[in-house]
Structure 1
Amino acid sequence: MRSFPDRVRHALMFEIIGLAIITPAAAYLYDKPILQMGVVSIGSATIATIWTFVFNLGFDHAMRRMLGHTAKSFRMRLAHTVLFELGLLILLLPPIAWYLNMTLIDTLILDLGIVAFYLVYNFAFNVAYDRVFPVPTARHVKVMP
């Protein structure tokens, strides 16, 4: 299982890299001022950083309890990514709708592009992170696809 400092590094790296990509892209694609999208991005990143830490810790504990290890197969990584993004969507929609003065449905439609980006980004980032910063015990567990 990952250490506390490793989880902090993971969460911060994930958010900083994601923000550097999504803020200017969302401002351009949705024709919003970069400052307004920056506020949405920073607020979302703050919530997402906390969610990343809490969700990953809970997911790993659940894996350890149910499977006896925390090594993630392709299927487990895919389930991890989808569940993470669904939870984050539930947390973020109301404050974004309020800030942008939009309905929840309109905000959901607006957010789907961002969610699509983060689904792919989350998967790719976590696979890369696991390779660059492997969990020491994960090398000894055989992961079934």
Structure 2
Amino acid sequence: MRTIRDRVRHALMFEIVGLAIFTPGSAILLGQPVEHMGVIGIVSATTATLWNFIYNMIFDRILLRWKGTVEKNIMTRLVHTGLFEAGLVTLLIPFIAWYLGISLQEAIVIDLGIVIFYLFYAFSFNFLYDWVFPIALQAKPRMA
């Protein structure tokens, strides 16, 4: 299992790199002012950081009970990413609609673009993070 310190590093790195890519890219693609997308990005990143910390801890605990390990194959990573994004969308759509002064339906369309970006980003980031910062293998307890 990852330590709290490692989880904090992961969450902060994930959001900082994501925000650096998201803000200018979304402003261009969505035709919104950079300042507006910056606010959307910062609120989204803050929400996502907290959600990321909580979600990953819960996911790993469930995975450890279910499979006996926290190692993730491709299918597990796809499920992990999809469930993370589904929770985040539920948290962010009302804010996006309110802040941009648009309908919930329009916010869903904008958020769909954000989700597509972050699905690919999250998969890539987490794969690389696990490669750069592997989980130390724990010795199995011996039976006496």
TM-score (structure 1 length as normaliser): 0.93
What's 1:56 paired with? 56
Higher relative contact order (CA 8 A, sep 6+): 1
Correspondence for 1:86:
86
Instruction: Report the counterpart of residue 8 of structure 1 in structure 2.
Output: 8
Q: Which has the larger radius of gyration?
A: 2
Counting only pairs closer than 5 Å after superposition, residues 29-108 of structure 1 correspond to structure 2 as 29-108=29-108
Percentage of identical aligned residues: 53
User: Which structure 2 residue ranges, 5 or more long, are not aligned?
Assistant: none
Counterpart of 1:43, as a letter, is: V
| CA drift at 1:31 | 1.2
Deviation at 1:46, TM superposition (A): 0.4
RMSD after superposition: 1.4
Alignment coverage as a number of residue pairs: 140
Runs of 4+ in 1 over 6 A off after TM superposition: none
The normalised TM-score by structure 2 is 0.94
1:118 counterpart letter in structure 2: Y
Q: Gapped runs of 5+ residues in structure 1?
A: 141-145
- Give, in whole Å, the separation in 2 of the partners of 1:15 and 1:70: 22
> SS at 2:137's partner residue?
helix
Report Cα offsets for 1:85-131 as digits up to 9, x if no partner: 11110011011111111111110111111110100000000000000
CA shift for structure 1 position 48 = 0.3
Which amino acid in the other structure matches residue 81 of structure 1?
Answer: T
